[in-house]
């Protein structure tokens, strides 16, 4: 039987001389009807380019297919050559036979059209439906991706829906014409873990219902376990290994696959937490950071002249303390207030109420001028592209009134060496460094002022898994060496398990559960903590079905003068308390 | 020196750089008076003489040498263009940065004033200012400068607003960097590229506006030469003496081309991403 899609020796290049500048270098695979192929690789491995070549969208991205063959079996059984197809022919194929969903649902939809009209467009173009028929079809499509209250949602514009809902809409559009092949390019990367779990469950279910084939592209090898039949691992534009799911995950042959599987943080339900640097119970040490009743509210005004009618309660009564040498992880989903908490601690947003006290004593007993420093999520955005590394590292010193003298230069050199960057880095510019190296630079910059607390706001989330593992190692080493206290903000439970001593779970601006890492991860009590833990993808979870839970995070907008009821806490262990759910 | 070498190593930069360099030399020669003939001497016998060995670009209605007048005119026009663009770039950058950084009322006030200025067509606004202040070289400079200030303000404010929200500015705040440090190092430094391109474009526009003002008789006053004035004079004679129009027209066109090519090259060269790492 001929496969649905047969790719042989695909080569894709970019630029003026595509042959010399190949990004995909000879990729071959077959995809049978109803089968799911997962393409796994790190950024720059050519996985997205491969996928975009299949429906020839790569032509619009400046790429040229320089060699190979691509054949698609059409619904009527004829073989269609995707390589030699003309643009009008391809327009008929895209959407009708090959559907595609992208990474960013927020930017893939047109913000000024209702989602209804955007779904109808697909039906109008490929099935010739008009008017009421198209509307009915769109409503069915929304029902199919389990969006509750579909008829009403058709009239919504994208800004009225959450990221997870929008990705459902994208899936609905992609599936509108019952394509026989769905290409999903990192469809859950931009989404929260619990939403990711829902989307993965939905995709798995839809695949069973409709018997379509799927190409699922991801950088997270942990995700493929739940959905793929076959896995292809890509590195530097070549498929280094491909085979059945179980074979790849259990018996990887290629060193790169082994490396990937090793580097991906496996979530172990609290069994892999850190043993070092535990809190010393009886030493009455002064906390490096103590946050007491932190409240951050943003007033809402409908227009310039009117009075505030309500407020966004971004952070609503958060307190914790952080000992020197300790990592407190703050976990939660986007919009839960975890980043706002960090920014308030750093003084980047003004807190409405509450107090912090920061110990200015550092491990080396010097007093630091700025004891709290931060490392940001995106290493590409947090370094000024026009400054040399030397100027970047000098900035904190200049900012605190210091001079760039031999002592400062010596400190720069030693910190660069400490974070594992070459000595000649000082005269270079940020763009000459990779993402992981830039994050090391950010860490070095944060350490220039000898801080006692470092806030790591999703500091490893933007990095590839193998780089991520190394940066985490570096962070742990630095913590031991300098006695740093980390406030580690993350949504990734597996990473948190690696680095945290204590965990605070934050939900709708409030801490719902806090305690030592082992206890929180192994015996979660609060329903939200349980939900977060259940959503973590792991490679041990072969074809396990996620339950679809479409509950949304409650609105944080409260009427003017609203005060939350005081929290009731339940003690679960020596260092583990949970907010009593109402 | 390094930038000069980089310009010569850049494809379109070489052409643009050479054009602008030649113009600059011609402008200096024109300004110091090293022209083939005196630009305002009238050789009555040779009125409307076609280009020849004696008069390379012919003579005009009064028998003045077109080539000499062109050189003097380039000097005159370039002086006005350079000073007016310097004025506009400086004022616009300061206003744009202030609007973006201070935000709120400052932003509103500055940008509304700029909107008012932009509401007038450039030449009309320049005319208004010149009419009030009286014609002359320096009034032209100020008038053209004011006309182009809003464009620089906008060019600076937009990117400055987005830079202000970038993480490296947040990072700088966490170290406690002063506002002046952030504005100069993090905002201004990243604005060099759009500003350079804008400066070269504005030089081209300023040349045109100066020509326009002179054409209307409000810029350079006769008998002094300027590109616009020469075009204006050629208007009625374009059929009998086409060289009167062709040479000033070409001069304006090529200079604008040169500035644009140079601007493109500078934008590439000033981008550290295009710079090779020191070996």
pLDDT 10s digits, A171-190: 888 888 788 888 988 888 77
Q: In the predicted model, is pLDDT for residue A434 greater than 50?
A: yes
Tokens 């202040």 correspond to what residue? Answer: B133
pLDDT digits (tens, 9 = 90+) for B154-213: 999 999 998 888 888 888 888 878 888 888 888 888 888 888 888 888 888 888 888 888
Question: Which residues on A lie below 8 Å from B187 (Cβ)?
Answer: none
- Which DSSP state fits A178? -
pLDDT band at A367 (very low <50, low <70, confident <90, very high): low
Q: Using CB atoms, which residue from A348, A372, A432 is nearest to B170?
A: A348
pLDDT at B272: 67
Q: Using only the alpha carbons of chain A, give its radius of gyration.
A: 26
> CB–CB of A143/A169 below 8 Å?
no
Q: Using CB atoms, which residue from A346, A385, A432 is nearest to B174?
A: A346
Distance (Å) from the C-alpha of residue B150 to the closest C-alpha of chain A? 26
Question: Which residues on A lie below 8 Å from B191 (Cβ)?
Answer: none
| Lowest mean pLDDT segment, chosen from A384-398, A444-458, B204-218, B240-254 | B204-218
pLDDT at B267: 78
> CB–CB of A575/A519 below 8 Å?
yes
> CB–CB of A53/A63 below 8 Å?
yes
**A420, B132, B199 from A414: Cα distances, Å:** 10, 64, 42
pLDDT at B83: 94
Report the alpha-carbon distance of residue B109 to residue B120 in Å, rounded.
Answer: 18
Contact A386 B170 (CB under 8 A): no
Selection from B48, B71, B166 nearest residue A383 by Cα: B166
The rounded percent of chain A whose pLDDT value lies above 70 is 92
pLDDT digits (tens, 9 = 90+) for B64-111: 888 888 888 888 888 899 999 999 999 999 999 999 998 888 888 999
Task: Count CB neighbours of B103 within 10 A.
Answer: 12
Selection from B181, B187, B277, B166 nearest residue A426 by Cα: B277
pLDDT at B156: 92
Q: In the predicted model, is pLDDT for residue A360 greater than 60?
A: no
| Interstrand relation of A327-331 and A310-322 (parallel, antiparallel or unpaired) | unpaired
Tokens 């009915």 correspond to what residue? Answer: A136
User: Starting at the edge strand that comes first in sequence, how are the strands of the sheet with A98-101 ordered?
Assistant: A98-101, A181-185, A213-218, A36-40, A230-235, A238-244
SS3 A82: coil
Q: Give the residue numbers in A contacting B (CB under 8 Å), as ranges.
A: 346-348, 369-370, 372-374, 376-378, 381-387, 391, 395-396, 398-400, 427-429, 431-432, 442, 445, 449
CB neighbours of A563 closer than 8 A, spacing ≥ 6? Answer: none
pLDDT digits (tens, 9 = 90+) for A227-267: 888 899 988 888 888 888 888 888 888 998 888 888 777 77
CB neighbours of B83 closer than 8 A, spacing ≥ 6? Answer: B141, B145
A59 or A443, higher pLDDT: A443
CA A204 to chain centre: 20
Question: Which residues on A lie below 8 Å from B186 (Cβ)?
Answer: 384
pLDDT at A551: 56
pLDDT at A365: 45
User: Starting at the edge strand that comes first in sequence, how are the strands of the sheet with A63-73 ordered?
Assistant: A22-31, A5-14, A63-73, A79-81
Most confident of A47-61, A131-145, B84-98: B84-98
pLDDT at A363: 47
DSSP H helices, A448-576, are 465-482, 493-499, 517-522, 527-534
> CB–CB of A85/A77 below 8 Å?
no
pLDDT at A303: 61
Q: In the predicted model, is pLDDT for residue B112 greater than 80?
A: yes
Sign of the C-alpha dihedral computed for residues B235, B241, B244 and B249 taken in this order: positive
CB neighbours of A85 closer than 8 A, spacing ≥ 6? Answer: A56, A93
pLDDT, averaged across chain B: 85
- Which DSSP state fits A282? S
Q: Using CB atoms, which residue from A346, A347, A399 is nearest to B178?
A: A399
Q: In the predicted model, is pLDDT for residue B3 greater than 80?
A: no
CA B268 to chain centre: 20
pLDDT at A246: 85
pLDDT at A541: 60
pLDDT at A200: 82
Q: In the predicted model, is pLDDT for residue B153 greater than 90?
A: yes
A520 or A362, higher pLDDT: A520
Tell me the whole-structure pTM to 2 decimals.
0.78
Contact A399 B275 (CB under 8 A): no
Q: In the predicted model, is pLDDT for residue B278 greater than 50?
A: no
Nearest CA in chain A to B279: A424
pLDDT at B91: 95
pLDDT at B92: 94
- Which DSSP state fits B186? I
CB neighbours of A180 closer than 8 A, spacing ≥ 6? Answer: A4, A33, A75, A97, A98, A212, A213
> CB–CB of B68/B62 below 8 Å?
no
pLDDT digits (tens, 9 = 90+) for A278-309: 666 555 667 788 888 888 888 776 665 666 67
Structure tokens at A163: 């990221």
pLDDT, averaged across chain A: 82
Contact A386 B272 (CB under 8 A): yes
pLDDT band at A488 (very low <50, low <70, confident <90, very high): very high
| ipTM of the complex, rounded to two decimals | 0.73
| Interstrand relation of A510-516 and A502-507 (parallel, antiparallel or unpaired) | antiparallel
């Amino acid at each position: 039987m001929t496969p649905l899609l047969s790719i042989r020796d695909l080569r894709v290049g970019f630029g003026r001389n595509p042959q010399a500048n190949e990004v995909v270098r000879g990729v071959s695979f077959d995809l049978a009807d109803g089968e799911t192929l997962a393409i796994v690789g790190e950024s720059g491995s050519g996985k997205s380019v491969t996928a975009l070549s299949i429906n020839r969208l790569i032509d619009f991205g400046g790429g040229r297919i320089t060699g190979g063959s691509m054949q698609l079996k059409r619904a009527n059984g004829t073989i269609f050559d995707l390589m030699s197809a003309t643009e009008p022919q391809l327009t008929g194929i895209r959407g009708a036979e090959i559907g595609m969903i992208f990474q960013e649902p927020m930017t893939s939809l047109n913000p000024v059209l209702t989602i209804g009209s955007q779904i109808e467009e697909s039906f109008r173009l490929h099935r010739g439906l008009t008017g009421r028929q198209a509307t009915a079809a769109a409503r069915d499509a929304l029902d199919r991706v389990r969006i509750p209250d579909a008829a009403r949602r058709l009239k919504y514009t994208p800004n009225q829906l959450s990221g997870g809902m929008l990705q459902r809409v994208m899936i609905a559009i992609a599936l509108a014409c019952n394509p026989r092949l769905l290409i999903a390019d990192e469809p859950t990367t931009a989404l929260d873990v619990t939403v990711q779990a829902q989307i993965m469950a939905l995709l798995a279910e839809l695949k069973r219902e409709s018997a379509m084939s799927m190409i699922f592209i991801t950088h997270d090898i942990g995700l493929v376990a739940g959905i793929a039949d076959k896995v292809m691992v890509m590195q530097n534009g070549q498929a280094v290994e491909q085979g059945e799911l179980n074979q790849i995950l259990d018996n990887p042959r290629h060193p790169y696959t082994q490396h990937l599987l090793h580097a991906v943080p496996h979530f172990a339900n609290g069994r892999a937490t850190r043993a070092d640097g535990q809190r010393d119970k009886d030493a009455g040490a002064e906390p490096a950071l103590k946050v007491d009743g932190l409240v951050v509210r943003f007033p809402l005004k409908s227009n310039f002249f009117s009075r505030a009618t309500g407020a966004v309660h971004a952070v609503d009564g958060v307190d914790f303390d952080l000992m020197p040498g300790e990592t407190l992880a703050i976990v939660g989903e986007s919009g839960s207030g975890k980043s706002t908490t960090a920014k308030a601690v750093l003084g980047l947003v003004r807190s409405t109420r509450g107090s912090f006290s920061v110990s200015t004593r550092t491990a080396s007993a010097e007093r630091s001028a700025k004891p709290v420093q931060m490392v940001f999520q995106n290493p590409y955005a947090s370094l000024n592209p026009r400054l040399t590394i030397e100027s970047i590292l000098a900035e904190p010193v200049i900012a605190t009134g210091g001079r760039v003298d031999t002592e400062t230069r010596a400190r720069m050199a030693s910190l660069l060496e400490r974070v594992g960057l070459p000595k000649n880095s000082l005269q270079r510019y940020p763009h000459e460094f990779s993402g992981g190296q830039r994050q090391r630079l950010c860490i070095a910059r944060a350490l220039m002022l000898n801080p006692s607390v470092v806030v790591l706001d999703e500091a490893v989330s933007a990095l590839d898994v193998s780089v991520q593992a190394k940066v985490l190692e570096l962070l742990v080493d630095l913590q031991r060496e300098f006695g740093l206290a980390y406030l580690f903000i993350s949504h990734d439970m597996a990473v948190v398990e690696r680095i945290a001593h204590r965990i605070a779970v934050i939900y709708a601006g409030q801490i719902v559960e806090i305690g030592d890492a082992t206890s929180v991860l192994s015996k979660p009590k609060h329903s939200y903590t349980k939900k977060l833990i259940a959503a973590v993808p792991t490679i041990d979870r072969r074809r396990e079905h996620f339950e679809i839970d479409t509950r949304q995070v409650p609105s944080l907008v409260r009427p003017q003068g609203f005060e939350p009821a005081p929290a009731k806490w339940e003690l679960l262990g020596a260092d583990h308390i949970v907010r009593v759910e109402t | 020196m390094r930038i000069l070498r980089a310009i010569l190593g850049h494809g379109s930069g070489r052409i643009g750089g050479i054009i602008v360099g030649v113009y600059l030399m011609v402008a200096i020669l024109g300004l110091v008076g090293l022209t083939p003939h005196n630009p305002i001497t009238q050789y009555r016998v040779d009125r409307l003489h076609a280009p020849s060995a004696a008069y390379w670009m012919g003579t005009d209605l009064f028998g003045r040498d077109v080539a000499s007048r062109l050189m003097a005119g380039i000097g005159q026009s370039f002086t006005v263009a350079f000073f007016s663009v310097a004025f506009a770039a400086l004022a616009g950058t300061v206003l744009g940065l202030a609007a973006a950084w201070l935000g709120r009322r400052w932003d509103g006030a500055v940008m509304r004033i700029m909107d008012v200025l932009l509401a007038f067509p450039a030449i009309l606004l320049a005319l208004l200012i010149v009419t009030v202040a009286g014609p002359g070289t320096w009034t032209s400079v100020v008038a053209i400068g004011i006309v182009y200030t809003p464009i620089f303000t906008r060019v600076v404010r937009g990117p400055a607003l987005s830079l202000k929200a970038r993480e490296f500015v947040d990072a700088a705040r966490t170290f406690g960097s002063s506002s002046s440090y952030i504005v100069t190092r993090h905002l201004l430094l990243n604005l060099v590229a759009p500003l350079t391109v804008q400066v070269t474009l504005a030089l081209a526009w300023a040349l045109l506006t100066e020509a326009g003002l002179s054409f209307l008789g409000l810029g350079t006053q006769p008998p002094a030469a300027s590109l616009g004035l020469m075009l204006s004079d050629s208007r009625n004679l374009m059929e009998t003496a086409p060289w009167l129009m062709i040479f000033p027209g070409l001069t304006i066109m090529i200079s604008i081309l040169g500035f644009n090519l140079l601007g493109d090259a500078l934008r590439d060269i000033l981008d550290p991403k295009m710079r090779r790492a020191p070996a």
